[in-house]
Amino acid sequence: MVNIEQLLAPHNFSAFANAAELEAALADKITQQLNIALGKTGRASIAVSGGSTPKALFQLLSMADIDWQSIDVSLVDERWVATDSDQSNEKMLRQQLLINYASKANFIGMKSAVDDIEAGVIEYNAKLKDKIKQPFDILLLGMGNDGHTASWFPDAAEIEQALNPDGQSATLATRPRSQPMPRISLSFACVAQAKNITLHITGAEKRKVLENGLSDQQENLLPIHQTLLQLEQAVDIYWAD
């Protein structure tokens, strides 16, 4: 079993003095990466995580004066709730990111009109195939204090399917016991295709989970550790206290 230094060695860990400095640097990086992608093909795509951490980053990004109408914006994961629910990542994006210049972005949500989440998985797989530039140029991950990332929760029965590098579906439903509602999420197999992956985390607790939560048993790895171990590309890890 690897130790944390070995686990993080292939990745780029950056510690910032505070959240505002992290957000400014990350907004600049994402803007540059979007412009590079636009310069190559005239289109770009980005998948972002929800939760509370990225809200201020999204507000900064929304003010980037770039060709948003040529950019596909979607989600890494979503709570399976109505898109007007306060729990909805789509609602949060519409309030924090899809405003200002970014209001012109081509947003494709994960929650479908139908209530059946398995039908929603099929529907979103079709959107990935037909409507969203793939692979994602940029993909933004968060992390919970339980070591989940995306909606790959340690207490979800679907966790092995979610993290399977050879998984056949780009999207899956998870039903974590700790969560009040089911989740729809990109799979590891889809996330691993992204051209640039950033993990955005803040606070001492999350840094402790990242750096000290490493199990010495492969089968007990937290999803974030298994993700960092399995990915064949360097993840930019942005952390601030």
Closest by Cα among 164, 159, 156, 160 to 188: 164
Check residue 167 for interaction with ligand 6PG (CB under 6 A): no
Question: How are the residues of the chain apportioned to helix, strand and coil, as percentages rounded to the nearest 5?
Answer: 40, 20, 40
Burial of 114 (0-12, 13-18, 19+ CB in 10 A): exposed
Of 4-12, 63-71, 112-120, 142-150: span binding ligand 6PG (CB under 6 A): 142-150
SS3 at position 15: strand
Beta strands in the chain (DSSP E): 12-16, 44-48, 71-75, 77-79, 106-107, 138-141, 171-174, 183-186, 196-202, 236-240
Of 25-33, 130-138, 141-149, 166-174: span binding ligand 6PG (CB under 6 A): 141-149
Check residue 223 for interaction with ligand 6PG (CB under 6 A): no
H helix or E strand, kind and range, residue 182:
none
Check residue 198 for interaction with ligand 6PG (CB under 6 A): no
Size of the site for ligand 6PG (CB under 6 A): 14
Check residue 120 for interaction with ligand 6PG (CB under 6 A): no
Binding mask 65-84 vs ligand 6PG (x if CB under 6 A, - otherwise)? -----------xx-x-----
19, 34, 47, 53: residue in contact with ligand 6PG (rule CB under 6 A): 53
Classify residue 149 by its DSSP letter. Answer: B
- Closer residue to ligand 6PG (CB): 9 or 15: 15
- Closer residue to ligand 6PG (CB): 133 or 183: 183
